[in-house]
Amino acid sequence: MMPFLAWWGLGMRTAQMLAEANTVIAMRSLGAFGLWPVAAGEARRMWMEKPGAFVESAGRATTAMVQLKRPDQIVDAALKPIGRKTRSNSRRLSKRRRR
């Protein structure tokens, strides 16, 4: 793969993760004010999920470095666990609105 395309793809995945994170923050903030339907334990959940995602992210990045992966592959490995979490949160919270 051409280096430009690798970094372009990584940039697009990062932008997607950031957009999903922004959506989750907005829905959780609205939920805190009673303007968006959220589960009772959502405030606790938002604090409890972060350490696990960051530990997994650091572990995957470290594994990629030890395997002598390219820098874009290392960053991508670190981004995947966080992206999975933002994607699942965004889908879960938006489904609650459609009911």
Long-range contact pairs involving 26-31 (C-beta distance under 8 Å, separation at least 24): 27/90, 27/93, 27/94, 27/97, 28/93, 31/93
Could you tell me if residue 81 is inside a domain? yes
- pLDDT tens string 5-19: 999 999 999 999 999
Could you tell me if residue 3 is inside a domain? no
Could you tell me if residue 10 is inside a domain? no
More confident residue, 98 or 77: 77
Mean pLDDT value across the chain: 93
Q: Compute the average pLDDT of residues 42-71.
A: 96
Q: Residue 70: is its pLDDT beyond 90?
A: yes
Q: What is the pTM of this model?
A: 0.85
Predicted confidence band of residue 98 (pLDDT cuts 50, 70, 90): low
Domain of residue 57, residue span? 40-99
Could you tell me if residue 19 is inside a domain? no
Contact 46, 28 (CB under 8 A): yes
d(CA 46, CA 69): 32
Residue 3 pLDDT:
82
Could you tell me if residue 75 is inside a domain? yes
Residue 1 pLDDT:
63
Lookup: tokens for 15: 């932008």
Residue 2 pLDDT:
77
Could you tell me if residue 28 is inside a domain? no
Could you tell me if residue 12 is inside a domain? no
If one counts the domains in the chain, the total is 1
